[in-house]
Structure formats: structure tokens, C-alpha cells
Amino acid sequence: MVIPSSSFTIRRVNQSSKFGKWTSFCSLRQSLLITLWLSLFIVLFIWQKNLFDGLLIFRRNSGSGGVLMIPKLRPFVFNLTDFGGVGDGRTVNTRAFERAILEISKLKNGGGGQLNVLDGYWLTAPFNLTSHMTLFLAQNAVILAIQDEKYWPLMPPLPSYGFGREHPGPRYGSLIHGQNLTDVTITGHNGTIDGQGKSWWDKFRQKRLNHTRGPLVQIMWSSDIRFSNITLQNSPFWTLHPYDCKNVFVTNVTILAPVVGAPNTDGIDPDSCENMVIEDCYISVGDDGVAIKSGWDQYGINYGKPSTNILIKNVVIRSMVSAGLSIGSEMSGGVSNVRVENLHVWNSRRGVRIKTSLGRGGYVRNITYRNIMFDNLRVGIVIKTDYNEHPDERYNPKAVPVIEDISFTGIYGNGVRVPVRINGSLEIPVKNVVFRDMSVGITYKKKHIFQCAFVHGRVIGSVFPSPCENLDRYDEQGQLIRRSAMHNITNIDYDF
């Protein structure tokens, strides 16, 4: 069949018209895509330039010279350099700190002041804080303690201790000190306060000191005190010591000292304190990580200020010499209502410990441990009633402490030689101890791995390793299975 030429011509024209329209459409689409890509490129270029310029401005405005801008936390803000401070690690900045803090002390009616310690090494002798003050340490700021003890003032012994903790008579003050204050904050971008304690530790071991060493930071008779986002290290003695304070908060604080060769470098020592929180901290020191206290023998009894309402949670501790968390031994004013949650103690001598003795008086009661993890310890849980250290011979041996209402729930771990050692006595029985949900992997295969003496209490549900015979047994529903007839039996084994 032959197609007429006119028809063929019309069809070619129609096809050419469609092709032209398609070509025009593609060209338009390509132009739009090119325009869109160019627009995006220009926007990205401008955004990146603005971002870069913004970062430069951010760096220029940064008080520490780094990438972190120091926030304004008080109505009035000063830098230590405004008062002649020099952060070269050699210049002594004590007068600069004192002048700055004196200026802030005049601002109490205006909301107080903030003192920024910028990047650098700021050598100083001890100085005192004032109320309504924030001490802010930049990211690379280090406050360095002067090492020569002649620059450290002597202070009277703590009234609830009677004597200096190591020597009779006066004691050295702390590097950073405060008394009768309110509304004080020490914070930062994890800047550091370094006690440079090695010279103190060496002199202590060589018996070349005539007075008790001073803490790194000590706040006394004060309220509304906050520590956060800082590092405290190498304290001459106890590191952070709030004494007879109310409403104290310690958050995101790192505390460091050599785990051996740094005697008595406790991490945090709440002492006769009320309403205190310690949370989200890391502590690795040469003595107890946390030690809750309330005075020593007759002096603590007479002073009569307990430590009470204390919460400790989300804390990791290492203590090769002593314990992760201790109560006592100076507990003569009483310790009560302490809650410990989410505690991890690793590579340490002991996990959690309560220690006291005849002559202490006082009480330890209503103590709750929950969700505790032990990792590679010699002893997990310790209650010791013969810790016989006394300030002098005038203590009353008939002052008998009371230990009661202690609960352990969710105790886990691995590599623990002795999971539990509760060493009560005829004079100081340990009353109403409760264990529930415990599973601790042991490395010690001798007979007495759950050790008890003069203990009254309960085991509820599953507990591993097998608990001692001193404790009553209950099922998971709290129904009595077997009551112990041997609360006073002793199976303490120190030979390991």
C-alpha cells in the first residue's frame, strides 16, 4: 500500500512540532536546574562565610581565648586580670584574688559578682571567698596552690574535733576558704584547682609538719553552696570539705590524686552537713572517695550537729587505699537519711563502708544503698565497729554508737574477694540490716565469703553468694522462710 506524500508530510510536520516542544521543555528544565544549583551554591557560600566570620567573632569574644564563651552568671562580671592577675605560673596572684573578692563583697545588694579566671596558670596562696559570688574557671584555667607552708595561715581546730586531725593545736587553712557565707558558686568549663600536694605528702610521711594539713577547698557555716564543672586535684589533705553547711550541691566535679602515695586525700567529706547532693562525679584519690562525718568523740558529741539528708548518685570512684564511700569514723554528731544510688566502685580496696568504735557515741541510721556496682575489690560492703582512733584520752568509752536501719538493694559486681563483712560487737550490734537482689562474682574461695558478727537483719529473695546464718530469710514476696537463732555468731575471717 502506498501512502500519499501529502499525508507523510503532515505527519513529519506534526512530529517535528512535538520534538521542538520537547526540546524547548528540556532546555527550560535545564535552565531552571542550573539556576537552582547556582542559587544554592551562592547561599551556601554566604552561609559558610557568615559561619566562619561568626566563629571568629565567637573566638574573639571568648573570655578564655578558646572556643567556649564564659557565660554571665551575675549582674557584675570581672576578670582576674582586671586586678593585676598574671597567669604565667610564676607570679603570685594572692593580692589580685583578694582585691577582686573585696570588690565583689560590695555588690551583695546588687546580686553579687562573678570572677573569671581565664586560661593560664594562676599561682596563689590561700584566699577567702565572699557571699553572692561566682568563681568561674575557663577551660584551660589552672589555679595553682603555693607550696611553701609559711604562706598558709593557721586556724583553730574544728570545734567538733577538738584537736587538729593529725596534730594537737592549730591546723593549716584551705587554699580556697569561706565562713558564714551564702549563695556561693565555684564552676567553670572544667577548669582546674591544683593543690600541688606532693610536697605536703612527702613532709607528712617524713614527720616534718607540726600542724594538720589543710584541705584544698573548705566552706564552713554556710548555705546555698554549689560546685560544678570543675576539676580538683592534688590536695594537700581532704579535697572538698563542706563543714556545718546547708544546701550544698556538687555536680559534674572531677577529683583526682595519686591512688597511692597521697595520704588522706579524701575526695568529698560532708561534715555535719544538712541537705546535700553529690551527683555525676568522678573521683580517684588516695583515701576515701566520699567520707560522711559529723565530729570526733566527745567534741563531736558536744557540738551536736549531724550530717543528714544526703543524696549521692551517679558517681564513679576509685580508692586503692581505702573505700569508695565511707560513713565515719568521725560520726559522733550522728549520720542519718543518706541515700546512695548508681554508685560504681572499681579497682579499690573496699566498696562502701561504715566505721565507728566505742567512745564515738552518735548514730548511723536510715542509710539506703541501691544499684551499686563493684569491680575488682578486696571487700565490697564493710561495717566496722572497732575503729579505735581517738583525739585524746579524755573520750568516754561508754559513749556507744548506734548502727541501725541499713538497706542494700541491687548490689552487683565481679572480682570481689569478700562481698560482705559486717563486724558488729556485743556493745555495738548492727541492727535491721536488709539485703535484697544481690549478685556479686567472687574470687575468694575460702569458707567465709559473706562474713557477719552480731548482726540482726533480713535477706529478701535471691542473694549471691550465700548470706551468713545471722540473718533471717524471706522470699521475694516478703514472707518469712526461716528466722535465725544465731544473730551473735561470729565468722569474721581476716586471713586472706
Helical (H) or strand (E) element with 101: helix 94-105
For residue 475, give every residue at least 6 positions away whose Cβ sits within 8 Å of its Cβ, in sequence order, or none: 460, 461, 481
Sign of CA dihedral 446, 449, 455, 456: negative
**Which among 280, 355, 289, 346 is positioned nearest to 323, based on CA atoms?**
289
Distance CA 466, CA 442 (A): 11
Q: Is the Cβ–Cβ distance between 115 and 104 less than 8 Å?
A: yes
Helix (H) or strand (E) segment spanning residue 366: strand 363-384
392 a catalytic residue: no
Question: Residue 312 is which amino acid?
Answer: I
Which position among 244, 287, 375, 472 bears the catalytic label? 287
DSSP code of residue 237? S
Contact 323, 360 (CB under 8 A): no
Cα separation, 477 vs 496, whole angstroms: 37
CB neighbours of residue 304 within 10 Å: 14
Instruction: Give the helix/strand (H/E) hosting 438.
Output: strand 430-442
**Cell of residue 449, nine digits:** 565469703
d(C-alpha 437, C-alpha 335), whole Å: 25
CB 138 within 8 A of CB 368: no
Say how far apart CA 266 and CA 225 lie, in whole Å: 19
Q: State the Cα–Cα distance between residues 117 and 68, nearest whole angstrom.
A: 13
Active site residues: 287
